[in-house]
Amino acid sequence: MQSMSKTQVAPELAFSQTSAIPKHFSTSCIFAKAHRAPFNKNVDRSKTPLEKVHSDINGPLPYPSLRGAHYFFTFIDDYSRFMHLYVVTRKSDLYDCYEKFRKAAKNRFNTEVGNLETQFNQYDSEVQRLQSDNGKEYEKLGQIIFDRYDTHAQFTNAYTPQQNGVAERQMRTILERVRALLIDGDLPRQLWGECCQYVTHLINVTTSSVLPTGVTPYELWHGKKPSLTYIKVFGCAAFALTPEPHRNKLEARAKLCMIVDLPQNKKGYRLLSTTENRIIYSRDVIIAEMSQDTFPNLTFLERATPDPLSTSLPVQKELLPPLSVLRKHSQASLVAFDADVCSPSAKKVKTEDTLAIYSKALLLNEPIDLEEEHTLHHTIVSLLAVRYDPGPKIYMEVMRFPHASDWHAAALSGYGSLMENQTWTLVPRPHNRKVLQCQWVFVRKRGATGRVVRFKAHLVVKGFQQNYGIDYTEIFSPVVRKEILRLLLTLAAILDYEIGQMDVKTAFLNGSLDVAIFMEQPEGFASKDHPDLVCSLGKSPYGLKQAPRVWYHTFAKYLERLGFTRLVKDRCVFYKVIFNAPCYISVYVDDMLIISPSKQIVARVKSALSSEFHMTDLGGVSYLLGWTIERNRANSSIFIHQRSYTTNVLDRFSMLDRLPKDTPIAQKPVATDCPTDDETKTIMPNKLYRNAVGSFMYLVTGTRPDLAILIREISQYLDNPGLPH
């Protein structure tokens, strides 16, 4: 109005100096016109790597990845815009992801310090500032990294994602490209995790408008230009050479696979085998960037786009195109990784043996979950692939996974066993005692060949929450010693005794507790009428510290009532004379062998045990404790081996393709356990060297005592191993 008066637009609104509108705020106008303050677009960019890092989380995604994950985190360096992405199962994995990122960044600079600009050498390779949203997981991480690494955490205000614009915009870019790749190739939705990794790698090796012209994030991060010769279309066909131990002379020499990741820290592509439904790694592949329609076998995964409605009959497609088409395909190429891959730490190694060890070390970057399933079409089980056909982690994921009906039936059966054994009674929550939490654990029972024979669900109490002296005292429980078990099998073979095998269903639920322990109601089976009540345990479910001990004493007392006597040398071997014939029972938790010269005696003992406990009669022994037991009664012999386990271990640690040696150990063993160069010091930390030694040690205690001298030598370097080890 004052402006209109001054410009004579409305002269009737003339204001005197004394009657002018006072220059003060009107609260009514503030309430009516409040709006968001403008955001400063001139943000100062970092001058050095790790001066500032942007991070964000996305999820939960509606479909589990091949690893069973529902979230992913990103960490973006503000200076180079180089991005690390981690696919995880839960938000609480943020700290582990940050530690991986921090170590990767620290090691990257240490190994490439000679290639970086000299002005960066004065800076520490520790993150100075971490920018993120104000989620609880980030607030907790901020406190930890400030106390440990003096890293300052910066959080956005609520409902202000613009303050974390770099991470938010990059998250949008990732999801847009992931959707495009899945839809364009008609790929299963469960491949989103692999697709995210693929997109992240492409972003890192391509130019960006926020960086100097012609410069990629990879170049600023590593100090050298990336190689792009290995990049192939995500989801395209690849024919991987089948290793010689996995095929015979009449079988195909290659298998059809799908490329799901590019080579980064290892010299080989990550492939999804369409015939075995598992992840494999291979350096010898023929890649044909053809249509994804080549893969009709992935029926266990859901496609990214629904099939269009059609009234026409489906046309059956050939699994492979004609050979002439493959030969003429312009995109087909034989890939042999004899040159450096993109990873700057993957440098040339002079000798062939060292190269094999180096590739093996790179292959051990991520832990393997031994409880996850994969489909087995050969006798060789790949532990490296087990993680990519995961089972449910929590009860709420059951219906989202393959074999959902089997998992659900297993959970119902497990809960039925708990109720049948009167494991608990519902009581009001006590005020002076800790109430333990519990969780469903889903596992697959496998046979001698590694095939899944049963789906099982166990309700496991989180026993680490128990307090000594209140919830438990003694917890020791013996198991039969393996040398005694081998002796019993030897006697049975020589004397031609019968060997029966039995398994106890929900063994721990047969033992009664002598202390008061309280537990939350199990997920998915809480009482609808009394959800606030808790379980007062009368029996010992899995997870309680004293559960094995309670079960052992329960079973031992029953055998003593039947007239059996425990041996002095092994308290898990029981002996009795029945009808002038000896009978032995060996117990390893819930697995037991019954050895006697008479089938009738074995049958009577099985009947007596089944009358007291819920038992599974497994007939004659063929598979026990990971041992495959092959009996030849005509020759009075029993052959025990762990061929499947051995193959698993060799495959897991990338040793299946190594040539056999004439001696069990090198003629000139390594004399030192200390890495001598920067490259070795960078590669070896956090590798699974201890895991490998422990895996081979299990063979020594089982069926391969000849490896004892080898284990003795390599066990001397557990603290600080080098590449030769």
More confident: 383 or 269? 269
**CATH at residue 207:** 3.30.420.10
CB atoms within 10 A of CB 42: 4
φ, ψ of residue 290 to 5 degrees: the values are -105, -170
More confident: 678 or 304? 678
**Residues 711 and 388 sit within 8 Å (Cβ to Cβ):** no
Residue numbers of the domain that contains 663: 656-716
Total number of domains in the chain = 4
Cα angle for residues 511, 395, 189 (degrees, 5° grid): 150
Q: Is the pLDDT of residue 175 over 90?
A: yes
Residue 634 lies in a domain: no
pLDDT tens, 298-325? 544 554 544 333 333 333 333 333 433 3
Nearest Cα to Cα of residue 383 among 369, 393, 366: 369
The verdict on 282 and 141 lying in the same domain is no
pLDDT tens, 261-273? 776 666 778 888 8
Instruction: Record the pTM.
Output: 0.46
φ, ψ of residue 331 to 5 degrees: the values are -95, -5
Q: Which two tokens stand for residue 337?
A: 């990784």
The verdict on 598 and 669 lying in the same domain is no
The verdict on 102 and 180 lying in the same domain is yes
Residue 581 lies in a domain: yes
Residue 361 lies in a domain: no
pLDDT tens, 428-484? 988 888 889 888 888 777 665 666 777 788 888 888 888 887 888 888 888 888 888
Residue at a domain's end among 578, 604, 625: 625
The verdict on 272 and 146 lying in the same domain is no
Assign 138 a pLDDT band (cuts: 50, 70, 90).
very high
Pairing mode of beta strands 152-155, 637-641: unpaired
CA–CA distances in Å: residue 393 to residues 65, 302, 506, 544, 687: 13, 20, 20, 20, 25
List the single range of 164-178, 395-409, 510-524 with lowest mean pLDDT. 395-409
Q: Strand, helix or coil at 499?
A: strand
The verdict on 433 and 555 lying in the same domain is yes
Residue 646 lies in a domain: no
CB atoms within 10 A of CB 589: 18
Assign 636 a pLDDT band (cuts: 50, 70, 90).
confident
Burial class (CB in 10 A: 0-12, 13-18, 19+), 408: middle
The verdict on 50 and 132 lying in the same domain is yes
φ, ψ of residue 125 to 5 degrees: the values are -90, 35
The verdict on 554 and 668 lying in the same domain is no
CB atoms within 10 A of CB 348: 9
Residue at a domain's end among 287, 305, 320: 287
Q: What is the DSSP string of 411-434?
A: HHHHHHHHHHTT-EEEEPPPSSSP
Q: Which H helix or E strand runs over 332?
A: none
Residue 518 lies in a domain: yes
The verdict on 691 and 606 lying in the same domain is no
Count Cα atoms within 13 angstroms, Cβ side, for 596. Answer: 24
The verdict on 433 and 503 lying in the same domain is yes
The verdict on 207 and 256 lying in the same domain is no
The verdict on 379 and 270 lying in the same domain is no
Torsion of CA 15, 18, 21, 22, to 10 degrees: 160
The verdict on 615 and 519 lying in the same domain is yes
Residue at a domain's end among 583, 609, 625: 625
More confident: 431 or 329? 431
Q: Can you say whether the dihedral through the CA atoms of 282, 287, 289, 294 is positive or negative? A: negative
pLDDT of residue 12: 62
Residue 632 lies in a domain: no
Residue 417 lies in a domain: yes
Residue 139 lies in a domain: yes
Q: What is the DSSP string of 384-409?
A: HHHTTSPPPSSGGGGGGSTTHHHHHH
